[in-house]
Amino acid sequence: MKAVWIREDRVLSDDYQAYLHHLREKYGVTEQNSSTGHKIKGVGQLARILKVLSDEDFQKKNKEFSQVQTVYPILLVYDVFLTAPVYGNFLASEFEKLLIPDQKLDSGELIKGNFRIHPLIVMTIEDLENLELSIKHFNFIDLLSDYSKECQDRLMSLKNYIAGSKYNNQIYRNKNLANKCLELFKETKAAIELRRES
């Protein structure tokens, strides 16, 4: 999970390479300087963990991981800007490069050791909050599987996929979160009214 945001001034920059560097700084791997080496975040951390988990020696010592066959790597983010088209594709391609898979299948799945790893999924906290109640009505793994089949290139975000899919009618907003927001609005309104009176 990454609680970082893309800076607006970087989005508006004309320098395409500088913007990609900024994305890698926030969610990937960048070379910081010669003394500290690489700075690993987000997709780099996921790739590094999966390399370790898929290692044969590691699995011999940790037998529970040898039973795993399919992996859906999810980068959980706060920045809803990443639901815009193409970001998922860029981060999935960065993840693939860092994972260094043994093989890539036509389906887009990556083989690493005995793992079949789907392309990276970018999910926002908002998506997760909505899924908290909604997965009572459908299987979470089915959602990830259907998204992976229909959006192999990750050009469409998970949020946009859900909006146009059969899952849209099964999404229920988080009532606890909505109630807390309403309480905050009421408190804000009361504070404004109190200030006007004084």
**Would you state the pLDDT for residue 7?**
65
Number of domains within the chain: 1
**Would you state the pLDDT for residue 133?**
79
**Would you state the pLDDT for residue 4?**
67
pLDDT per position as a tens digit, 145-155: 999 999 999 99
Structural domain of 191: 8-197
Query: Quick check: is 125 in a domain?
Result: yes
| In the chain, % of residues over pLDDT 90 | 42
**Would you state the pLDDT for residue 117?**
96
**Would you state the pLDDT for residue 35?**
54
Query: Quick check: is 3 in a domain?
Result: no
CA distances from residue 106 to 75, 88, 109, 177, 191 in whole angstroms, order as listed: 23, 19, 7, 41, 58
All residue ranges of the chain with pLDDT < 50 are 33-34
Across the chain, mean pLDDT equals 84
Q: Tokens standing for 105?
A: 């299948």
Q: Residue 69 and residue 137: Cα distance in Å, rounded?
A: 25
How many separate helices (H) and strands (E) can be counted in the chain? 10, 8
**Would you state the pLDDT for residue 84?**
85
pLDDT per position as a tens digit, 116-139: 999 999 999 888 888 887 888 899
